[in-house]
Amino acid sequence: MTKNVLILPGDGIGPEIVEQAVRVLDQVNASFDLNIEHESALVGGSAYDETGSPLPEVTLDKAKAANAILLGAVGGPKWDGLDMSVRPEKGLLGLRSNLELFANLRPAILYPQLADASSLKHEIVAGLDILIVRELTGGIYFGQPRGIRTLENGERQGYNTYVYSESEIRRIARSAFEAARQRNKRVCSIDKSNVLEVTVLWKEVMEEVAKEYPDVELSHMLVDNAAMQLVRAPKQFDVMVTGNMFGDILSDAAAMLTGSIGMLPSASLNAEGRGMYEPCHGSAPDIAGQGKANPLATILSVAMMLRYSLEAKEAADAIETAVSNVLDQGLRTADIASEGCTTVSTAQMGDAVLAAL
Amino acid sequence: MTKNVLILPGDGIGPEIVEQAVRVLDQVNASFDLNIEHESALVGGSAYDETGSPLPEVTLDKAKAANAILLGAVGGPKWDGLDMSVRPEKGLLGLRSNLELFANLRPAILYPQLADASSLKHEIVAGLDILIVRELTGGIYFGQPRGIRTLENGERQGYNTYVYSESEIRRIARSAFEAARQRNKRVCSIDKSNVLEVTVLWKEVMEEVAKEYPDVELSHMLVDNAAMQLVRAPKQFDVMVTGNMFGDILSDAAAMLTGSIGMLPSASLNAEGRGMYEPCHGSAPDIAGQGKANPLATILSVAMMLRYSLEAKEAADAIETAVSNVLDQGLRTADIASEGCTTVSTAQMGDAVLAAL
Ligand SMILES: CC(C)[C@H](C(=O)O)[C@@H](O)C(=O)O
Ligand SMILES: CC(C)[C@H](C(=O)O)[C@@H](O)C(=O)O
């Protein structure tokens, strides 16, 4: 049966990194006989420029029909002045919520070949391998009411609502426990239950769901402490699970611990395991179009996509091995450049992965 | 004129670290002839245990009458099961809001003597000196409505409200710009304006206030990026200003960059410059009563108190110099213990500071 992949290059460096990732996808598609077809569509700022919407109907329809989605990145200063409702980010948020991609898996892995890139001491991060499970379709990102209103005294007031229901918490808890079962069987749930009622409920539901997973250990940590512990001793964590906003902050901090955010893929899954795959990094408008960007996070996102949504574990393994080989060869894009290594362009990095496959 | 200081030892290690800080306060009071009187009161879990309230009326009255407050720390697992309304943290939050201590100043400074304690590479943190200005009486910590309700379908839903008005943003902006004027004249305002309306207003008001401070440079950064940049290159910052929740997370991460959070004081000020002073670290119930805790953050909080609220700059300088001398002598409490240094107890550290004064 044919599998459909929707390619969403997006903005900034999106198109150039996605181009390399698609070459890799095409090659494993041929060599592993995967029967994958793909087409592209617009999203984000580039979609707004062409259609007036960051998430055109046709893109959303194609996304709903696809077996999996590969996204580059969205956003850039060009669109900063736009009204919130049509900003590039709304394209991304619209995809997440319309497809109910509630489970965002963000691994933070230190590649041994890149250990020096970290700003942390070697012993603190050597062997780092944590997985952040972030709730992606609820919380304060989507809570109503929201907006900016004028008070009776004439001053303006901005407001957003941080809200979670039991069922929303339960399903992301299960994602975290399931993921932990495949790893070191430890889940640390992050909350601010000493201040925020919504996270009191979060903590309670985590405890409830934990009973279904007696083989997995659940602990709790306050978000401020979690931010500290990530800096102090990140290897204490296996799986961290948290809401949309805390997850946004902590997963970026965790990714940066490795010093090579240009290497980190992510998956956003719905209840059926269909998903959207994208690099952890952003659209880096400052280097867009210069052939400098690191395509490896996007290429590794293809591997995640093959593994989680397209039942092509062998092809996924092959891509990951190829990436590791390329690093062993000493090839580096500018973001991970290092003495004694060869600095290559986006396309050269793509070539090297294809050659290693 | 006599100045009144209210001492709030609080919970966990609070009493033992505050004891040493009070000895230091007494000594500079005598030697610099400062005319300071102090008395103690209960707050937090220990107040709840004695009175049923984490912030007894008498404590609040004394706090309102005082020229400054010195707080140890509140909270601990002992009170985890309590209803939110009487948890130890409510004592702290009640003091902040009743006294309108809206400006929380949290320096993250790396003491050269303790450079090795950091989990970050030396060159990344050497000379680190940033100031986080956190809004402390608004935002999601205090926003209404809040709670846990049961929906029509029978499931529970937790909710909190993230809210800021122009005037709340304006006054904390001014605190940040004023602080930057005393430093390197750069303010970085942290928001999530690509998703949250409340922070769109935040960003706008920051821009407005910046016009009053043409000598200070204002930049903006998204909170997820800020968490990354703190890990990657923290020295790029001078003053960071942000809301209550983001400030809680980022200031703890920033403090931990130094590896010696036991060294960091903080101030929470109101519009008149009256304030509450406390260490950045928590109540560390696991080591409470063992004489292991580091009293230096609390002792340095006394210095901040003398400088900001009691017009006793010389005494403040003397304390800071004494602390630096003690570190030079190689004395360290357990949290900052290091090879070749002498590990001392809480009281011995207090003795050493007194001797150095
Ligand atoms: C672009 C932005 C809306 C998005 C988010 O905040 O979720 C990004 O930071 C991310 O983490 O994927
Ligand atoms: C104890 C807690 C309520 C408090 C906060 O979240 O503000 C603490 O973490 C702090 O940062 O002072």
The model's pLDDT over B208-267, given as tens digits with 9 standing for 90+, comes to 999 999 999 999 999 999 999 999 999 999 999 999 999 999 999 999 999 989 999 999
β pairing state of B103-109 and B129-135: antiparallel
Q: Is pLDDT above 90 for B80?
A: no
pLDDT tens string A339-348: 999 999 999 9
Tokens encoding B191: 């928001």
Residue A193 covered by a domain = yes
Ligand 2 atom closest to B266 (CA)? 12
Number of domains chain A contains: 2
pLDDT at B273: 86
CA dist., res. B179 & res. A109, Å (int): 38
Q: Which of B257, B273, B307 is the last residue before a domain boundary?
A: B257
How big, in percent rounded to 5, are the helix, strand and coil portions of chain A? 50, 20, 30
Are residues B169 and B142 located together in one domain of the fold?
yes
Does residue B357 contact residue B27 with C-beta atoms inside 8 Å? Answer: yes
Band the pLDDT of B84: cuts 50, 70, 90: confident
Buried residues in B240-254 as b, exposed as e (16+ CB within 10 A): bbbbbbbbbbbbbbb
Helix (H) / strand (E) element for A242: namely strand A239-242
Residue-level pLDDT at B81:
86
CATH of the domain at A171: 3.40.718.10
Residues B268 and B317 in one domain: yes
Confirm if A312 and A319 have CB atoms less than 8 A apart.
Answer: no
A195 Cβ closer than 6 Å to some ligand 2 atom: yes
Contact between chains at B156 and A167 (C-beta distance less than 8 A): no
Task: Provide the number of CB pairs (under 8 Å) joining chain A to chain B.
Answer: 183
Active site residue B224: yes
B140 and B250 inside one domain:
yes
Are A50 and A88 part of one and the same domain?
yes
Closest ligand by atom to A195 CA? 2
- Catalytic choice (B48, B248, B277, B308): B248
| Residue A303, both tokens | 């591997």
Hey, what long-range contacts does A212-215 have (CB within 8 A, 24 or more apart)? A212/A174, A212/A177, A213/A177, A213/A180, A213/A181, A215/A181, A215/A185
CA atoms within 13 A on the CB side of B229: 15
Q: Which ligand is nearest to the CA of A250?
A: 1
Expressed in angstroms and rounded, the spacing between residue A195 Cα and the centre of ligand 2 is 8
| pLDDT tens digits for range A60-71 | 999 999 999 999
Closest listed residue to residue A295, CA positions, set A112, A73, A77: A73
Does residue B115 lie in a domain region?
no
Does one domain contain both A34 and A9? Answer: yes
Residue B112 labeled ligand binder: no
List pLDDT tens digits, range B321-344.
999 999 999 999 999 998 999 999
Q: Which amino acid is present at A130?
A: I
pLDDT at B67: 96
Last residue of a domain, one of B257, B274, B302: B257
User: What does DSSP say about strands B103-109 and B265-269: parallel, antiparallel, or unpaired?
Assistant: antiparallel
Q: Over 90: is that where the pLDDT of A80 sits?
A: no
Ligand 1 test: best mutation among A85, A86, A248, most atoms within 8 Å of CB? A248
| A27 lies in the same domain as A84 | yes
Residue A74 Cα to ligand 1 midpoint, Å, equals: 9
Q: Which ligand is nearest to the CA of B96?
A: 2
Could you tell me the end-to-end alpha-carbon distance of chain B, in angstroms, rounded to an integer? 24
- B329 touches B306 (CB < 8 A): no
- Dump the DSSP string for B276-313: EEEESS---GGGTTTT-S--HHHHHHHHHHHHHTS--H
Which ligand 1 atom is the nearest neighbour of the CA of A248? 11
pLDDT at residue A51 is higher than 90? yes
Q: For the segment B107-140, what is each residue's pLDDT rounded down to a tens digit?
A: 999 999 998 899 999 999 999 999 999 999 999 9
Q: Do B158 and A223 make contact, defined as CB atoms within 8 angstroms?
A: no
- In a domain, residue B116? The reply is no
CB contacts of A150 in chain B (<8 Å) are none
Mutate to test the interface with A, among B153, B163, B194 (most CBs of A within 10 A): B194
pLDDT at residue A60, rounded to an integer: 98
Query: What band does A1 get if pLDDT is binned at 50, 70 and 90?
Result: confident
For residues B343 and B272, membership in a common domain is answered with yes
Is residue B324 domain-resident?
Answer: yes
Instruction: Provide residues with CB under 6 Å of ligand 1.
Output: A 75, 89, 92-93, 248; B 194-195, 224
Residues A133 and A212 occupy one common structural domain = yes
**DSSP-assigned states of every residue in A309-321:** TS--HHHHHHHHH
Q: Kindly report the CA angle at B74 between A199 and A220, in degrees rounded to 5? A: 35
Please say if the pLDDT value at position A290 is more than 90. yes
CA of A196 to the centre of ligand 2 (A): 11
3-state DSSP percent of chain B in helix, strand and coil, to 5: 50, 20, 30
Helix (DSSP H) and strand (DSSP E) numbers for chain B: 12, 14
Q: B267 and B236 in one domain?
A: no
Average pLDDT of the residues of chain A: 96
Which atom of ligand 1 has the smallest separation from the CA of A75? 1
B176-202 confidence digits (pLDDT tens): 999 999 999 999 999 999 999 999 999
The answer on pLDDT for B50 being more than 90 is yes
Instruction: Give yes or no for a contact between B100 and B271, defined as CB atoms under 8 angstroms apart.
Output: yes
The token pair that represents B75 in the structure block: 């909270």
- Concerning whether A121 is annotated as a catalytic residue, the answer is no
Angle at A67 between CA A62 and CA A68, to 5 degrees: 85
To test ligand 2's pocket by mutation, which of B92, B102, B242, B249 has the most ligand atoms within 8 angstroms of CB? B92
Across the interface, of A89, A200, A227, the residue whose CB is closest to B249 is A227
Q: Output b/e per residue, B314-329; b: 16+ Cβ within 10 A.
A: ebbebbbebbeebbee
Cβ atoms of A22 and A40 within 8 Å: the answer is no
Q: Do A236 and A277 fall into the same domain?
A: no
The residue among B43, B46, B45 whose CA lies nearest residue B62 is B43
Cα(A114)–Cα(A126) distance, integer angstroms:
10
Query: What pLDDT sits at residue A206?
Result: 98
Question: How high does pLDDT run on average in chain B?
Answer: 96
CB B119 within 8 Å of CB B293: no
Position A81 scores a pLDDT of 86
Residue A317 inside a domain? The answer is yes
A163 and A248 fall within a common domain:
yes
Q: Average of pLDDT values for A67-92?
A: 94
Q: How confident is the model over A166-195, as pLDDT tens digits?
A: 999 999 999 999 999 999 999 999 999 999
Tell me how close the Cα of A197 comes to any Cα of chain B, in angstroms.
5
The average pLDDT across B134-158 equals 98
Q: Determine whether the shortest distance from the Cβ of A166 to ligand 2 is under 6 A.
A: no
Distance of CA B246 from the midpoint of ligand 2 (Å): 11
The predicted structure's pLDDT at residue B1? 85
Domain boundary among B257, B277, B299: B257
CB contact under 8 A, B121 and A124: no
Confirm whether A124 is domain-assigned: no
Average pLDDT rounded to a whole number, residues B61-73: 97
Domain housing B137: 129-257
